Amino acid sequence: MRAAAPAHITGFFAARPDPDPRRAGSVGGGLNLDLPAATTVRRSEETAVLLNGAVSEAPVTRKVVDILAPSPVRVETELSMPLGSGFGASGAGALSSAYAINGAFGLGLTANAVGEAAHVAEVASGTGLGDVLAQNTGGLVVRLSPGAPGLGVVDRIPVPPLKVDFLVRGPLSTKEVLSDPGTMRGVNREGERALRELLKRPTLERFVSLSWEFARRSGLARDWMEDAVEAVEACGGMASMVMLGDAIFALNGGDALAEFGVAITARVNLGGAGLE
């Protein structure tokens, strides 16, 4: 059985912890992208997880297997997105695995129930808070309240399958940022502010501008990003930081990124995760 889940980049967020991992998560806004995690699941004599063809620890996916699979499985995931750079790879891998396990065993779970398993696995692993909820939805997602699919509340800002350009310098550790109390105080304050402002005028342009304000005011933006964003804006585009990665995304004006490194291009995914 084969399933896929899109990449997801967060523009701004605020953590909302809870002792119950189903209700823990984050609020904020982000874009789903057609850089999927595609997973094939087969019954097997022993459980194995392969990532891009190599055996992997893949702790988030293994937690999904523990939650859902009634017997050993072979999970093979191919990732199209950069790893460790804020593209929601762990959430996409877990969510696509959950859909594929559900299909392979005929578990009869709804999309929300499948998403809950992936969300719980990701929150318990400390690798993300809101990606799964967004990836199960598709499009430009505004996370209004935290939690797994079925508990967390989302809305969408209608957008077409836009082209988005990216420049990725390297990874950032989501777990390190989320576990730093000093950093998270500023992140949460600015993330809540950005959400309030976006809901006053929920447009794509406002999402990008508030995301860049959030990146700077929270202290997460890197020095090189200021120059890159200015270059994109000088070409008539908009840009901001990918949370949480040493990377930026741009709408229009993406050609300006060439002077800062090799850019990649994707389109907004509107359909979210599901079986293939």
Whether 29 shows a pLDDT value over 90: the answer reads yes
Angle at 7 between CA 142 and CA 129, to 5 degrees: 55
Whether 68 shows a pLDDT value over 80: the answer reads yes
The number of folded domains in the chain is 1
- In the chain, the amino acid numbered 48 is A
Cβ atoms of 142 and 199 within 8 Å: the answer is: yes
pLDDT score for 172: 77
Whether 178 shows a pLDDT value over 90: the answer reads no
Q: What is the pLDDT confidence band of residue 173, given thresholds at 50, 70 and 90?
A: confident
Q: Identify the bridge partners of residue 254 per DSSP, sorted by sequence position.
A: none
pLDDT score for 134: 99
Whether 49 shows a pLDDT value over 90: the answer reads yes
Instruction: Give pLDDT tens digits for 102-122.
Output: 999 999 999 999 999 999 999
Q: What is the pLDDT confidence band of residue 196, given thresholds at 50, 70 and 90?
A: very high
- Secondary structure (3-state) at 215: helix
pLDDT score for 95: 99
For 275, other C-beta atoms within 10 Å of its C-beta total 12
- Average pLDDT of span 176-199: 93
Contacts of residue 186, defined as CB under 8 A and 6 or more positions apart, other chains included, come to 217, 218, 219
Query: Residue 260 carries which DSSP code?
Result: G
Whether 135 shows a pLDDT value over 80: the answer reads yes
- Average pLDDT of span 194-215: 99
- Average pLDDT of span 201-216: 99
Q: What is the pLDDT confidence band of residue 181, given thresholds at 50, 70 and 90?
A: confident
Domain range enclosing 154: 1-276
Query: Residue 241 carries which DSSP code?
Result: E
Contacts of residue 59, defined as CB under 8 A and 6 or more positions apart, other chains included, come to 125
Cβ atoms of 65 and 5 within 8 Å: the answer is: no
Contacts of residue 169, defined as CB under 8 A and 6 or more positions apart, other chains included, come to 222, 224, 246, 247, 261
Cβ atoms of 6 and 269 within 8 Å: the answer is: yes
pLDDT score for 167: 96
Give the C-alpha separation, 142 to 144, whole Å. Answer: 6
Structure tokens at 226: 């200021």
List the CATH number of the domain containing 50. Answer: 3.30.230.120
Rg (CA), the chain: 18
Question: What's the distance, CA 59 to chain centroid?
Answer: 17
Q: State whether the Cα torsion 169-174-179-181 is positive or negative.
A: positive
Whether 194 shows a pLDDT value over 90: the answer reads yes
Give the C-alpha separation, 111 to 136, whole Å. Answer: 8
- Nearest to 266, CA basis, from 85, 104, 123, 40: 85
Q: What is the pLDDT confidence band of residue 138, given thresholds at 50, 70 and 90?
A: very high
Structure tokens at 272: 């979210």
Whether 176 shows a pLDDT value over 90: the answer reads no
Contacts of residue 19, defined as CB under 8 A and 6 or more positions apart, other chains included, come to none
pLDDT score for 174: 73
Give the C-alpha separation, 55 to 40, whole Å. Answer: 14
Q: What is the pLDDT confidence band of residue 177, given thresholds at 50, 70 and 90?
A: confident
Q: Considering the chain, what is the average pLDDT of its residues?
A: 96
- In the chain, the amino acid numbered 175 is K
- Average pLDDT of span 234-262: 94
- Average pLDDT of span 119-141: 97
